[in-house]
Structure 1
Amino acid sequence: MKGRFHEKAPDDIQVFFPNPESEDPMKDEVMWVTVIAHDAASGAFLGILLNAPRHLKDVQEGDNVVFHLPPDAPLPVAVGMGGERLGWPVTAADSLTETVVRGVRHYRQGRFGHNPPGIQACVGTLGHVLEPSPQDAPADLRALGHFVLARCLAEQYETERAIHHFEEVLRLTPEDEYARMGLLAELSVMVHTSPDELKSGTELDWQERYLKQMATALERIKNPHSLELLGVIFSEEEIKNAAESNPERERKLRRIGAGAFRYKVR
């Protein structure tokens, strides 16, 4: 792969997409993909499509795509064409899979809240199929849907709904560090909300839930960047700065941390 990435975007690479619906080579496409993962066992790469296809119907801008690098090939080649959606499990329940695909697409188009219509479309797409969650669908597919919905709800500041869906992810996949950090971030918003603005629960209720999750996170999370972030929240310097020489507020912040934080992952 060395030498094949964009000089100004080191995660981006051009990938060849053969068109399964046409024998005309002019209907094949070469598009840019951001690489996000690699499977050493199969040699396959997972990425996010950055272009809007001109001819292909199976993928759209923002979709997951899987590709590999055949020996002596001039470009990496997308795999999974011909009935198998690129980047998505083929054993999942069809109806929910298609809905989650649309939800993820809207999430990507939402660009972490910078494009509100994408975020709103994600919530509208996933909310009606995951509230309540279908129990007969594969757990990993439900977990993905709940995570994406939680992220979009967080972008809309629907904090309590986001908390519910992050908790659903952890119920299905307890070791998901991204969901655990997402849940912790939303709980941090609740504990730093003025008591008279809380719509449910008491200040102490939210603090108890937050501190319980914080203890679990510090015990289970291995990602050094996440641990560094949590360390900053409870650092002496941050607490002193946030307390502004107010002894009562300082005592509270020593318990719950210097402030709320957001946690965004792509």
Structure 2
Amino acid sequence: MFYDRDAASQILSMTRVTTLARLHAATAYLIQMHGFRYYYFSLRGQHTLTGRDPVTLHNLPANGRKPVMDKEPDQDPLVHYAATRTLPMDWKQIMALPGYQHRGCLRVMAARAQHGLLSGCTVPLSQANGILARLDLICDHDDEEADLCIRRYLPYASLLGQVLLDKTRDLTRQEDDDLMEPDGGTPLTQRERECLLWASEGKTNAEIGALLGISERTVVYHVHHACEKLHARNRQHAVTKAILSRKLFGLTSDSSRLVGNMV
């Protein structure tokens, strides 16, 4: 997808993505091309359209999810910044702003650091009509290299965030009836999640089997059962539903490393 050399063209090429699973994979790949390790996109106030609030896309490690990124604005400096400001900003600059030096804010950022989310930038995206959206681009190190990565990409961060916002709203609106996970659904097994994770990267059944040390027939078995549990029509549909229902990231410490190393 990213044949263009300049960052803006790379981002705009994502407007051709047709599913949320592909949007997630493309975003994770793109930000890692530019030196970031993780991304986190959150869209709140979308419940009238999707029945889900918030809608999130991310490639955080399994131990870096809630409550690290999803606190309320009065509890989290990044969420508060996104709710009250408009310019993308480095986390260090945000924390230097008046009102963000108190113990609660520092505690939240320290918790992120403990999960390997050491530096990054926050991009406010929408504060109108009850909708609040933001994008975080995150490095797993805090040094001059990370600072340079953030400074170089910050001019393009708003464009990436806006594409994510527009595509997520469009795709969730189109796919809502199909993608909603029924309450009380059967949870996926660890192996089913692993198979879907690699399927989201375009791996064939044979390739997935080789990566996981199981036979191709066993991969087909796990994917088939995942489709049944998610009420999905096919493998790609199952991947998308698993991402949106947050069933794709409940991995153990061993398998969670797959999320960070896939792209």
Give the TM-score taking structure 2 as reference length. 0.27
Give the TM-score taking structure 1 as reference length. 0.27
Higher relative contact order, chain-length normalized (CA < 8 Å, sep 6+): 2
Q: Which has the higher helix share?
A: 2
